[in-house]
Amino acid sequence: MKKIFRKEHASEKKEDEDEEFERSTRHCRCKHCPIIHRKKLTEIDIDRLEKKLKTVQYKIDEDVDQQLRELAEFVHIKTISDDVECLKETVKAIDLMANKLEKLNFKVEEFQINQRTTTCAEVPPQKVLFATYFSSPTKNTLLLYLFLDVFPTEEENSWFKNPFSLSDSDGILYGRGVTAGKGPAVCWLQTFRTWKNLYHDLPVNIKIICEAMHEVGSVGVHQIVESRTNFFDDVDYVIFSFNSWLNDERPVISCSLCGWASFGLEVRAGNKTLDSGIAGGLVYEPMTDLCHLMNSLVDDRHRVLVPGIDSMTRPIGQYEWQLLHQAEYGEYFYAYKEVLDVRRLKHEVTKIELLRNRWCKPSLTMHGVEGCYSGHGSQCALPLTVIGKFTIKLLPDQTVSHIHVYVQEYLNSKHAELKLLTDMHLMVIDGCDPYLWSMESKHMHGIRNAVSSVFRVEPKMSSLICPCLPMASFIRKTTKKTVIVIPFTNRADRRMQINESIPKSRFINNTKMYAGVLHELSLMPVRCKCDVIRDYCLRRGFGEILDHQMLPRQSAPPKKMKNLRRMTNIKTLTVLPQDYQDSNTKSNDAPTTKRRKSSFKKLLFRPTNILKSSK
């Protein structure tokens, strides 16, 4: 029954999608909207495009060495963002990335992260890259979130090899960052490069956010994203490469993100911090009361005591139970214990119970206490205002606001029951509702195709195995765009552990899968974005320029062209006319194959824009 509901839900969504396309085109002000007037793709078109994809994937297989060299180049930079000493290196990695993207004709903008006040001046300011590759208004736009920093290596001596030097041993690539961050970034770069080398353009528009503070909570990145929301106006899909495989055989694609509600429980008896020598025994100490209140949240078996904490979560259907059954990671518990470096796991008796708690149940974590003394050694501070911090993980269809009410009511009752004489105040410091999307929508089918065609296995789709990806949730919350989470690593790859590694074959297959994702999303219907960006349809990207160079002069009367140019806001376009003239005069005789060396490199006179050329 559950499944039927979801299918209905999905078909509704599909209708929704179509309706949205209809509506958006109605807003279009341009006379000859390229999206309204576009030709539907025929079977032959699709065949031709698929052949292109095959060529790209074949080329990726051929250029393995180049890709590994690039990976080695990134791995070599010691980008441990948790280590102040390494913050120069993270900047270097970002600069390298910017350089590489610029070579691929991306327009790159850098934003400086506001320095944390406690650090010294010698720490270089951290940067976030916003990169744009605009091919055509008639193509879908993908946003990629990449990061280049890595988790600390702990004892470097425990690694087989130097963690910051890529090594290939028995077809397995060892190096810090190969499974997350640097690995996906290099795969995307390779995909773009191969496509551009072969066809001089990409099948979709690309936007990239690339940072190097991911492993330390993306400090400051949130503010930059929030202040630049217009960057996301024309984005259709946001892609994250965070998913793990379910087991050795089967990739999994999540269709949900869990949310969270971070609470601050303030207990106040006064404003100062006193000296326990002077005031000890005299005042009602908020730390004591905070302990009482925090304690009432969880029992000694670590069960959350707030009534209603489980309410509004979706029941686990038969399909999800099966998934939990199928999930196997070889020596499952041991691996987990090793990752987490603990001796005992909750619910470690049964795998399913453990996984259900991990993925499908809300949980409460206490982080610490603000306002208290948390340093090393002893101090005689007696804080009079302390804020206990805890977070409740939320699952679809819970919301931050309803959990807030439950927690507030429960703590109020406890405060009254304990007759505490200090003041209590509960606040939501940070919160994000969980997010669930249909696994039956067109683009999810596309992603599934992209994965299955490369790995030759049907990926598992799930909306109840709920990953917690704060950055994904944050970008979803800020931009309201469609999120896609695709798999990259297997649990055996030892992400965040010593001897992080990835099999070379899967690494290359991931690159090919990325190419497949570009291809599949390029086939999705395109929405006219003139409703959010004025005259979006009149913009000209690389695709249009290439097309224009192919067409006879008269097809684009000079007057109208000028007008077009004025309207567009793509910087690269403004330098084009001279280039264009140059190239026209210089290499008019052999324009088809030879690469040009003008400032507008790699621009060729061969028609490559898919949609235009398929007219």
Question: What is the C-alpha to C-alpha distance for residues 182 and 189, in angstroms, rounded to an integer?
Answer: 10
Tell me: does residue 477 bind a second copy (CB under 8 A). Answer: no
Which residues lie across from 146 on neighbouring strands? Answer: 210
CB of 425 to a second copy, least distance (A): 14
CB of 480 to a second copy, least distance (A): 21
Indicate if the alpha-carbon torsion angle 454, 456, 458, 460 is positive or negative.
negative
Tell me: does residue 393 bind a second copy (CB under 8 A). Answer: yes
| 254 SS3 class | strand
CB of 421 to a second copy, least distance (A): 6
Among positions 420, 444, 447, 526, the unique one binding a second copy when judged by CB under 8 A:
420
CB of 344 to a second copy, least distance (A): 6
DSSP 585-609: HHSSSSTTTPPP-SSSTT--SS---
Which CB sits closer to a second copy, 344 or 456? 344
Which CB sits closer to a second copy, 324 or 604? 324
Which CB sits closer to a second copy, 354 or 444? 354
CB under 8 A: which stretch of 34-42, 63-71, 229-237, 274-282 binds a second copy?
274-282
Residues 6+ away with beta carbon under 8 Å from 442: 14, 17, 524, 525
| 483 SS3 class | strand
Catalogue the long-range contacts made by 410-418 (C-beta closer than 8 Å, 24 or more residues apart): 410/296, 410/297, 410/305, 410/306, 410/307, 411/265, 411/293, 411/296, 411/297, 414/292, 414/293, 414/296, 415/293, 418/289, 418/292, 418/293, 418/296
CB under 8 A: which stretch of 66-74, 258-266, 505-513, 555-563 binds a second copy?
258-266
Indicate if the alpha-carbon torsion angle 437, 441, 447, 453 is positive or negative.
positive
CB of 341 to a second copy, least distance (A): 4
Structure tokens at 183: 């690995």
Which CB sits closer to a second copy, 282 or 405? 282
Tell me: does residue 196 bind a second copy (CB under 8 A). Answer: no
CB of 379 to a second copy, least distance (A): 6
- Interaction residues for a second copy, span 314-373 (CB under 8 A): 336, 340-346, 354, 357-358, 361-373
Distances (CA, A) of 60 to 38, 68, 203, 301, 487: 31, 11, 16, 52, 19
Chain centroid to Cα 585, Å, comes to 45
Which CB sits closer to a second copy, 94 or 384? 384
Which CB sits closer to a second copy, 470 or 591? 470
With contact defined as beta carbons under 8 Å apart, do 21 and 38 qualify?
no
CB of 245 to a second copy, least distance (A): 16
Tell me: does residue 425 bind a second copy (CB under 8 A). Answer: no
Tell me: does residue 430 bind a second copy (CB under 8 A). Answer: yes
**Max Cα distance, the chain (Å):** 94
Among positions 160, 284, 321, 334, the unique one binding a second copy when judged by CB under 8 A:
284
Size of the site for a second copy (CB under 8 A): 82
Among positions 25, 55, 197, 391, the unique one binding a second copy when judged by CB under 8 A:
391
**Residue that has been written with the tokens 């060396």 in this structure:** 597
- Interaction residues for a second copy, span 203-242 (CB under 8 A): 217
CB of 510 to a second copy, least distance (A): 21
- Interaction residues for a second copy, span 102-161 (CB under 8 A): 118, 120-121
Which CB sits closer to a second copy, 350 or 554? 350
Q: Which helix (H) or strand (E) holds 466?
A: none
